[in-house]
Structures are given as structure tokens and as C-alpha cells.
Chain A
């Protein structure tokens, strides 16, 4: 397999922003991840080939960044802030509530592949702690008791 026409077009759309081709690699991985859900070994080979980089070099970059997924994730990714302000405001209880509701530990994906639960560093909304993100949505002042209703919005 190679990059799809859409993936290639979107990556090319970022090319004018950078003077070198390898500088595109982080954008390229994010684009491919948006299409395929995660960055598989095959996806890495596709991107590395397209950008004239070695697969190992690209993997070293992929594994450095928090938001590049080198394992499959569910349809929705829940990222619960575990940094200090949210910790003070009860992030551990919140994470436990979600983990027990989903039946997975942090880092896990539900068997129906609906949710992946991940810890995340400070989300920069500390005045509304505890906070979490589901996909691109930020949720403020999350009440552990109201987690069910929140997750129902992500079928």
C-alpha cells in the first residue's frame, strides 16, 4: 500500500510551509493518523518513502510525540488530564470512574473498539479542573458521577 490520494494531497498542502521535505513528517503523520486512526508500521513505511526518510528515523520521531499513536486506538480517544491542578481537584477519582465504567485501565481500549482511555499532560484549562478531552472536544469541570452521560455522546 502507499499513501492514498487524499493523504498525499493533504500532506502536499503543508509542503509550502517548510523549506525541507523532512520537516513535513510530523504533519504527515498527523494527517495519516486522521485517515487511518493510528500510525501502523505500514503507515510509517508509506510516509518515510514519500518523504525520502528512513523508517527508523521516522519511528524515532513518531514515538517521541504524545499525540502520534503507534498502537491502534478506539473510535474515540478519551484523554484525562493528570497534571497538578486537575490532580488537586480530583483527577484520580475521575480517571477511576471512567476506567471502571469502560472496564479498561489507562492506556487500554474497550473490546468493542469504541473508546481508548489515555492520561494526558496539563490541558491548559486549569481554572475548570478536572478536565478531559474526547477526540477534539474539551470538557470542563467534569463530575465523575456524570461520566456516563458524557460518554453517551460518543457512540
Chain B
């Protein structure tokens, strides 16, 4: 049987299990076990499990924790932050975990907090996730009443206060250091690294930021062990993954599958294939800021390593499907418009380059493309490459653009030579 630890408690009616139901299903047993373990042992367990961050970058979780200063000399308070600012276009996986099983996230956070000896934790949730915030607050209230949060959790020496911060909205808040600035009540501009947040983060104190799905994996790792977790996966990256599909497929949705499921399997078996009258042309495999893949790549396992080999990224694992009735230029315009609008304006390649790219794509789509536009767009993609910008926004923003120019170049050229969008 295929195991689905992340979604095992999800109810068909969409209601979240309350504390009683969660505990009846075995909930908070992993917390008890983890609180009885030495912090370094939890970090080692997570390292051995090969859990990699599910927010998009795929950084090894246990390794991240190992950078946090530990011991009696370590600065306090230390902070744990859950990044629930799900704003990557095409991504809707954390919403399910937040709304469907909030106690699983809280339990995961208590485990992570114990591992890094955090005193205070925040869940940074986007403002539009109204139901998620309400359910989190209700679950946190229950957890405080049960002494799973607050002072001396479950009779141990671990203390943890957990707060929900509801964001006022901006894509930049999803970037780790931008999020920390937002939590401090500032504009969500990115911070220079080093110092890394693990050493100097929130209010200058050691801070770990993890995505919702990453934290939700912790209870089952503590419960079943690193080898079991690795065994869930078909590839070297451990665990299961919440995969999704949106666009003109028959059954758009989300599915918890073994890490390394192929795009073909997700698209055909789970999403039911393409809608009548359209055919598959390409996909952004993990949200708006990942490179396009095409029909040639459908049998690539969806994990952090394999998608990189074909020039893309797993990202958030939620695929955006492009069909033959959708114009690639129009789609790129939509994407670059989003990124240009959400750029915080902090560094020039991002605020200037993305705006230029969006303007050029708009002109092309409206029939005003000019010879040289494609080269200019390619130059912008280079201009925004990693190393030229403060944070990952612009490098991510140009991923779909640079790959569209590669795979759908004829379509771009037709916009210029025909002075119109062939799709309208």
C-alpha cells in the first residue's frame, strides 16, 4: 500500500481534525518522543532522512538546523518560523496542509523547536488564507490548553510560544530574509547574506525558517524513522511529496505521492489527462519560477535532482500545464508582469530588468514586437541570473522566460513577423 503520512488525517468533508481526533489517530506521540531525545539526535535523524525543504529551494533540512548555535553559550531567544506565505503562482499545496490538519504542523514545529532549542515560533501566513489562519488559531489554542505549547511542554524543560502572524501581502514575504523583515514590521526587502538567519535572523537572533510541508513531515520521521522515510521515495530524496496540477487538465488537483513520481503519471493517472480539444505543450513543474519542460520530459521523476538534469527545478511540485490553445508569449507576459509587480525594488536587475521584460512581452503580444526583442529578452535573463541580484526573486522570474525562448522560439518569432498574436 502506498503510504501518505502528510494527508493521512485529512477528512473527506474538508473539516480539520480537532485535538481529540488528532490524538486519537496517534497525534502528539512523536512530540513526546522527540522531547525525550537530545536536540542533536533529532537533527541527526532529520539529516539521515534526506528531508529537503519543500518551499522550493530544496535545501537539506537537517543541515540547515546544524548551523544554529547550540549549547549554554547560544544566544536566546532563538526563533523558529513557519513560512506559510504561499504566493508562488500555481501553488496551492500548503493551503491543504494548513486547512486540513493544523495540529500536524504544530506538532512538527514543536519537534523542530526542540531540535534547535527555539523559545518562540511564528507561523507567517498570507492574508488571503482566512480559513487557514482561523483553524491554526483554534488548534494553537487547543495545544496551549493541553500544555503542548507554553512553558514546560508536556512536563519537560522545553518552552515554546507559538504566534500566528497574518501577512499584509506581498510575494517578497515568501523570501526567507524578506519574511524576517516583514515579521519585524518592516518592508519585506531581502537582507544581505551572510550573516545567515540561522546565526542572525529575527531581531538578530538565531532563526530557522521552514516551509509548511517541510515541518509537516517531521512527526512521521520521528515516529517511523529515517530509513522508513527514505523508503517512501522512489529516488534519493526522502519522503512523499504533495504534487499538483493546474491548467486545462480534466481533474486539476493535489496528490500525495512517493517523491520521484513522474510528470506523466501525475498528468495522466491523477489529473486525468488533458481536457478534450487541447493537447499538452509544456509545463512549469513547480510553480511560476521554474523552467518550462516539454513532452520530451514527461518521464522524468519529479524530484530535486532529476528535474535539474533537464534544466528545470522541482520548486513547489505543483505543475502549471500549458496547452496548445494557450499562447506562450501571453503566458510569459503574465508571469513577468507578476514578478515585475512583486519585485520589492531593492536591486536594479530585478526592478528594472523584469519591468523591461514584461513591457517587451506585452508589446510583442499586442503586435508591436521588433527584431532584436528575443535577444534583448535573453540579455535580461542573463542580467537577472543568480549572483547578479540580492535574492532569488529575479533569477526565478526569468526561468520560465529563458526556457520559453528555447522551446517555443518559433512562436515568439511569429509574433514579431506577423505583428500579432497568432492565438487571438
| Partner-B contacts on A (CB < 8 A) | 17-20, 22-27, 29-30, 60-61, 64-68, 79, 82-85, 87-89, 120-129, 133, 136, 138
Q: Are B168 and A30 in contact (CB under 8 A)?
A: yes
Contact partners of A23 in chain B: CB under 8 A: 183-185
* Cβ proximity bits B232-260 to A, threshold 8 Å, 1 near / 0 not: 00000000000011111000111000000
Chain B window 166-189, contacts with chain A (Cβ cutoff 8 Å), 1 for yes, 0 for no: 111111000000000011111110
User: Nearest B residue to A87 by beta-carbon distance?
Assistant: B334
28 A-B residue pairs with CB within 8 Å: A17-B122, A20-B203, A22-B184, A22-B185, A30-B168, A61-B186, A64-B187, A65-B169, A65-B170, A66-B169, A67-B127, A83-B288, A84-B331, A85-B89, A85-B247, A88-B321, A89-B247, A120-B128, A121-B338, A122-B91, A122-B288, A124-B94, A125-B95, A126-B244, A126-B318, A127-B92, A127-B246, A138-B128
Does B342 reach chain A (CB closer than 8 Å)? yes
Instruction: For A88, give its contact among B126, B166, B322 (CB under 8 Å).
Output: B322
| Nearest Cβ on chain B to A68's Cβ, whole angstroms | 5
A-B contact count (CB 8 A): 135
A138 to B335, CA, bound (A): 23
**How far is it, in angstroms, between the C-alpha of A64 and the C-alpha of B188 when the chains are bound?**
8
Minimum Cβ distance to chain B for residue A13 (Å): 12
Closest to B93 in A: A124
- Judged by a CB distance under 8 angstroms, whether B152 is at the interface is no
Taking a contact as CB atoms under 8 Å apart, the answer to whether B185 and A17 are in contact is: no
Give the chain A neighbours of B330 by CB distance below 8 A. 87
Taking a contact as CB atoms under 8 Å apart, the answer to whether B244 and A127 are in contact is yes
User: Which residues of chain A come closer than 8 Å to B128, judged between CB atoms?
Assistant: 67, 79, 120, 123-124, 133, 138
Q: Which of B90, B122, B166 is the one whose CB lies under 8 Å from A83? A: B90
Q: How far is the CB of A49 from chain B (nearest CB, A)?
A: 16
Which residues does chain B contribute within 8 Å of A126, judged by CB atoms? 89-92, 244, 246, 252, 318, 320
CB distance from B284 to the nearest CB of A (A): 8
- Interface flags, B321-343, vs A, CB<8A=1, else 0: 11100100011001100100110
Query: Are B338 and A84 in touch, CB under 8 angstroms?
Result: yes
> Would A127 and B168 count as touching, CB distance under 8 A?
no
The count of chain B contact residues (Cβ–Cβ below 8 Å) is 57
Known: A65-B170, A121-B171, A123-B128. A17 touches B163 (CB 8 A): yes
What string of 1s and 0s marks CB contacts (under 8 Å) between B273-304 and chain A?
Answer: 00000000000100010000000000000000
Which residues on the B side are within 8 Å of A79 (C-beta)? 128
Partner of A84, one of B166, B171, B188, B288: B288
State whether the Cβ of B351 lies closer than 8 Å to any Cβ in chain A.
Answer: no
The reply to whether A64 and B170 form a contact with Cβ atoms under 8 Å apart is: yes
Question: Do residues A128 and B89 form an inter-chain contact, with CB atoms below 8 A?
Answer: no
Q: How far is the CA of A70 from the CA of B45 in the complex (A)?
A: 49
The residues of A that contact B188 with a CB separation of less than 8 Å are: 64
A47 to chain B, nearest CB (A): 11
Residue B130 interfacial (CB < 8 Å): yes
**How far apart are B192's CB and chain A's nearest CB, in angstroms?**
19
Nearest-CB residue, chain B, relative to A129: B246
Interface residue? B373 (CB, 8 A):
no
**Which residues of B lie under 8 Å from residue A84 when comparing CB positions?**
89-90, 284, 288, 320, 331, 334-335, 338
Contacts of B344 in A (CB 8 A): 64
B213 within 8 A of A: no
- Known contacts A22-B185, A64-B344, A127-B246, then 8 further A-B pairs from the complex at CB < 8 Å, ordered by chain A residue: A61-B187, A82-B338, A88-B323, A121-B341, A123-B128, A126-B92, A127-B92, A129-B252
